């Protein structure tokens, strides 16, 4: 269970009106407490049972991330570990990059319900350029932390029924080469070690001989140490599991074999892999470390893995994220700095910056307006000049046309005068012609012997 705030400490803070840190108040409270013995049974010794009942009622969640190259037996191992069949078809491995596939399952054992997520890094190691292979895995882990942080920061939180998708363990599958770790493995584990509990495992351990396996394990561990990769250590602070966990830490990385095939050995059905030369029993500790892995991962340390995820990895993510946002626990003089003060300081800083930005924008605006104004003035002047030029051109043209019109009018008038004179002459000529005709007519009448023309 994750730590919950102590109600008494909170009340004391409120009633005393003091700004004393909660830890200090708690210390004073415990120092000032008197030891009393009870004269009869009260019942608060049932607290652990109450806690167990509540947890059983709520159910548990556990999220496993499987990282390893294609075909290393990740899905088979998951099926073997949980004694069931999870996904159907194998993933496609011709993608340009690594992508994350998450499947959720609900399992029940006795009366305990487990929400299990199995997250797979599909296509890991399939690309020619493997430089960015770790990226999508890191982003996925961070995204789950971020979702939890956002839920925590909400005013109305529902953490009690929040579906926690943070990765509790990363099973890192190492190829059974017998040589050394690939640089892809080292780089990926280095990128992941501050974000998730890594348990390295040698996959398909049946393909490596006993002597070689021992040497391979030593080589892997020394490479991890020399490269500063921090893998998950089974906790030894709880004395009930200290011995077994201590022993198991020395067995890392576990060399595992997975199989869902059951074979009759003696009068028992056992998970095994059959070969022409013999049978590898998955649950036989002389054959592989599968049982050790199952013990450590599920039966002994599942709760510690969940707790480490919350108290170590998530806490680190949260701290970095809040510091990135400008929140601090102490001021520059190393004095405690409350969230309220940080908020106020951040707000003032933000307002100051906003004002500065506003002023800058205003100045920029004024400058741009001035620039635009002068541009417009320039354009207006150009337009005026153009208008004047056109006006003058128009006037000249008009004058030319008027002159032409005047000369044409003069010509018309002259023509009209000539026309009138011609018409006059013509009518005069017609008049004299008709008079002569009349005269001749008269003469003919008077002298009929005159022959007509």
Q: By C-beta, is 25 or 98 nearer to ligand GTP?
A: 98
Q: By C-beta, is 293 or 300 nearer to ligand GTP?
A: 293
| 73 forms part of the interface with ligand GTP (CB under 6 A) | yes
* C-alpha to C-alpha distances, 367 to 24, 69, 357, 363, nearest whole angstrom: 57, 60, 15, 6
Question: Considering the complex, what minimum distance in angstroms separates the CB of residue 244 from ligand GTP?
Answer: 24
Q: By C-beta, is 287 or 313 nearer to ligand GTP?
A: 287
User: Given CA atoms 190, 193, 199, 204 in this order, what sign does their dihedral have?
Assistant: negative
Q: By C-beta, is 63 or 308 nearer to Mg ion?
A: 63
Q: Is the peptide bond before 253 cis (omega within 30 degrees of 0)?
A: yes
231 binds, among Mg ion, ligand GTP, none (CB under 5 to 8 A by kind): none
Burial class (CB in 10 A: 0-12, 13-18, 19+), 287: buried
Segment near ligand GTP (CB under 6 A); pick from 64-72, 109-117, 334-342, 366-374: 64-72
Q: By C-beta, is 73 or 253 nearer to ligand GTP?
A: 73
- DSSP of 211-229: HHHHHHHHHHHHHHHHTT-
Choose which of 67, 74, 141, 172 interacts with ligand GTP (CB under 6 A).
74
- Per-residue binding letters, 262-301, with ligand GTP (x by CB under 6 A): -----------x----------------------------
271 binds, among Mg ion, ligand GTP, none (CB under 5 to 8 A by kind): none
Interface size with ligand GTP, residues (CB under 6 A): 15
Q: Report how far residue 65's alpha carbon sits from residue 63's, in angstroms, rounded to the nearest whole number.
A: 7
| 127 forms part of the interface with ligand GTP (CB under 6 A) | no
Cβ atoms within 10 A of the Cβ of 235, count?
A: 17
- The two three-digit tokens of residue 207, written as one number: 């393909």
Q: By C-beta, is 119 or 192 nearer to Mg ion?
A: 119
Segment near ligand GTP (CB under 6 A); pick from 69-77, 339-347, 350-358, 379-387: 69-77
63 binds, among Mg ion, ligand GTP, none (CB under 5 to 8 A by kind): none
Q: Report how far residue 174's alpha carbon sits from residue 217's, in angstroms, rounded to the nearest whole number.
A: 11
Cβ atoms within 10 A of the Cβ of 258, count?
A: 23
Q: By C-beta, is 120 or 308 nearer to ligand GTP?
A: 120
In 310-338, alpha helices (H):
315-324
Strand ranges of the sheet holding 262-265, from the earlier edge strand across to the other edge: 262-265, 268-275, 278-281
114 binds, among Mg ion, ligand GTP, none (CB under 5 to 8 A by kind): none
How do 169-174 and 112-122 pair as beta strands?
Answer: unpaired
- Per-residue binding letters, 68-97, with Mg ion (x by CB under 5 A): ------xx----------------------
User: Given CA atoms 135, 137, 143, 146 in this order, what sign does their dihedral have?
Assistant: negative
| 97 forms part of the interface with ligand GTP (CB under 6 A) | no
Choose which of 204, 287, 306, 313 interacts with ligand GTP (CB under 6 A).
204
Cβ atoms within 10 A of the Cβ of 154, count?
A: 10
| 90 forms part of the interface with ligand GTP (CB under 6 A) | yes
Choose which of 76, 117, 188, 197 interacts with ligand GTP (CB under 6 A).
76
Q: Which is nearest to 434 in space by CA: 422, 442, 424?
A: 442
Q: Report how far residue 214's alpha carbon sits from residue 223's, in angstroms, rounded to the nearest whole number.
A: 14
- Per-residue binding letters, 211-240, with ligand GTP (x by CB under 6 A): ------------------------------
| 67 forms part of the interface with ligand GTP (CB under 6 A) | no
Choose which of 13, 91, 244, 345 interacts with ligand GTP (CB under 6 A).
91
| 308 forms part of the interface with Mg ion (CB under 5 A) | no
Asked if residues 267 and 200 have their Cβ atoms less than 8 Å apart, the reply is no
| 75 forms part of the interface with ligand GTP (CB under 6 A) | yes
Q: Which is nearest to 196 in space by CA: 153, 174, 166, 156?
A: 166
Helix H or strand E encompassing 98: none
Interface size with Mg ion, residues (CB under 5 A): 2
**Which residue is at the shortest CB distance from ligand GTP?**
73
Q: Report how far residue 300's alpha carbon sits from residue 238's, in angstroms, rounded to the nearest whole number.
A: 11
Helix H or strand E encompassing 272: strand 268-275
Question: Considering the complex, what minimum distance in angstroms separates the CB of residue 227 from ligand GTP?
Answer: 24
Q: Report how far residue 118's alpha carbon sits from residue 108's, in angstroms, rounded to the nearest whole number.
A: 16
Which positions lie near ligand GTP, rule CB under 6 A? 70-76, 90-91, 204, 206-207, 257-258, 273
């Amino acid at each position: 269970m994750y730590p919950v705030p102590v109600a008494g400490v909170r009340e004391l803070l409120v009633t005393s009106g003091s700004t004393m840190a909660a830890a200090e108040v708690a210390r004073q409270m415990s120092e000032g407490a008197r030891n009393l013995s009870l004269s009869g049974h009260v019942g608060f010794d049932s607290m652990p049972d109450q806690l167990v009942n509540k947890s059983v009622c709520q159910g548990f969640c556990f999220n496993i991330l499987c990282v390893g190259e294609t075909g290393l037996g990740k899905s088979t191992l998951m099926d073997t570990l949980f004694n069931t069949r999870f996904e159907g078809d194998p993933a496609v491995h011709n993608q340009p990059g690594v992508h994350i596939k998450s499947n959720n399952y609900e399992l029940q054992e006795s009366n305990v319900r487990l929400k299990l997520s199995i997250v797979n890094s599909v296509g890991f190691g399939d690309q020619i350029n493997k430089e960015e292979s770790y990226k999508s895995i890191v982003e996925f882990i961070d995204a789950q932390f971020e979702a939890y942080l956002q839920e925590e920061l909400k005013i109305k939180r529902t953490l009690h029924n929040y579906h926690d998708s943070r990765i509790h363990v990363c099973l890192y599958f190492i190829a059974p080469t017998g040589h050394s770790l690939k640089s892809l493995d080292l780089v990926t584990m280095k990128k992941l070690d501050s974000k998730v509990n890594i348990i390295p495992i040698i996959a398909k351990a049946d393909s490596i001989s006993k002597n070689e396996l021992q040497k391979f394990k030593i080589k892997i561990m020394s490479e991890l140490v020399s490269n500063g990769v921090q893998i998950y250590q089974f906790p030894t602070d709880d004395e009930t599991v200290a011995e077994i966990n201590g022993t198991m830490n020395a067995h890392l990385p576990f060399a595992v074999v997975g199989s869902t095939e059951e074979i009759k050995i003696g009068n028992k059905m056992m998970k095994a892999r059959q070969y022409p030369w013999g049978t590898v029993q998955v649950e036989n500790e002389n054959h592989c470390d599968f049982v050790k892995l199952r013990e450590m991962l599920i039966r002994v340390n599942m709760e510690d893995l969940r707790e480490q995820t919350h108290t170590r990895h998530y806490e680190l993510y949260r701290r970095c994220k809040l510091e990135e946002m400008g929140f601090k626990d102490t001021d520059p003089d190393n004095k405690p700095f409350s969230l309220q003060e940080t908020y106020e300081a951040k707000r003032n800083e933000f307002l100051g910056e906003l004002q500065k930005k506003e002023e800058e924008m205003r100045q920029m605006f004024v400058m741009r307006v001035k620039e635009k104004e002068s541009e417009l003035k320039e354009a207006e002047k150009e337009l005026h000049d153009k208008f004047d030029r056109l006006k003058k051109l128009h006037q000249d043209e008009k004058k030319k046309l008027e002159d032409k019109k005047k000369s044409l009018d003069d010509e018309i008038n002259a023509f009209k005068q000539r026309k009138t004179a011609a018409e006059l002459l013509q009518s005069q000529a017609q008049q004299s012609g008709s008079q002569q005709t009349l005269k001749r007519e008269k003469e003919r009448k008077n002298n009929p012997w005159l022959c007509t023309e």
